[in-house]
Structure 1
């Protein structure tokens, strides 16, 4: 029997003025329906992490990140094996706006406490990563 394929993804903690931008996933999404999430997505075949991050942020938010900094890689096994390369993004070109409302039904700038509340259950490392990202 073949093992499930690993979903290799990138995600961005977009930080501005002491807040981080999160998106609530649409209820009909296959992965994490209705859950709060960072912006990003799957790395396509032959694509680098940096290229995937830039593509995803442009597609989802209409922005181009400037000097994203890799923070960590986290992962899990449910609903299928996944790995998320988390980047800190503190500068970008453009103004973030929801370009894919079929993907995210809500965008919100969140304080550290709000972000921990929304992402804490997703992975044990998110509270620590959020604190680092928002520490300035």
Structure 2
């Protein structure tokens, strides 16, 4: 089975995380609440994909980010999602591809995708250890 690499971004502000409600017409995971992200293009590095997807999805440019982890997400295709934590950016967040984006508490969130739940739990685990500030 072919693996499709993706990047996802955990945007943080005031102990909240930005989540999206995926569009109904998306091929994979329509209508689900998820961490925003997208597919890497052929020949693209993870960092290039991160910058491109943040601009395409939310119209922002990250100024402070760190790689968190990579997790498999079996959906209609097998995805390998590379998660990044974004704590600072330039621009105003605008939902350009999702039905909507909204801020949610880090402790109580409505994620529907298991890999996203694991990634957010990993962020909370590491941030408590002061590994990620």
> Which range, TM-score by smaller chain?
0.7 to 0.9
Post-superposition CA distance 1:53-76 (Å, at most 9, x none): 000000111100113200000103
Unaligned 5+ segments in structure 2 are none
1:67 aligns with 2:64: yes
Q: TM-score, normalised by structure 1?
A: 0.84
Q: Alpha-carbon deviation of 1:133?
A: 7.4
In proportion to residue count, which structure has more strand? Answer: 2
Give the whole-Å Cα distance in 2 for the aligned partners of 1:6 and 1:65: 26
- Structural mapping, 1:78-97, within 5 Å: 78-97=75-94
Unaligned 5+ segments in structure 1 are none
From 24, 30, 35, the counterpart of 1:27: 24
1:38 aligns with 2:28: no
- Structural mapping, 1:1-136, within 5 Å: 3=1, 5-100=2-97, 104-115=98-109, 117-119=110-112, 121-123=113-115, 125-132=118-125, 136=133
Flag as ranges the 4+ runs of structure 1 deviating above 4 A: 132-136
Query: Any idea what SS the aligned residue of 2:107 has?
Result: helix
Q: How many residues align?
A: 128
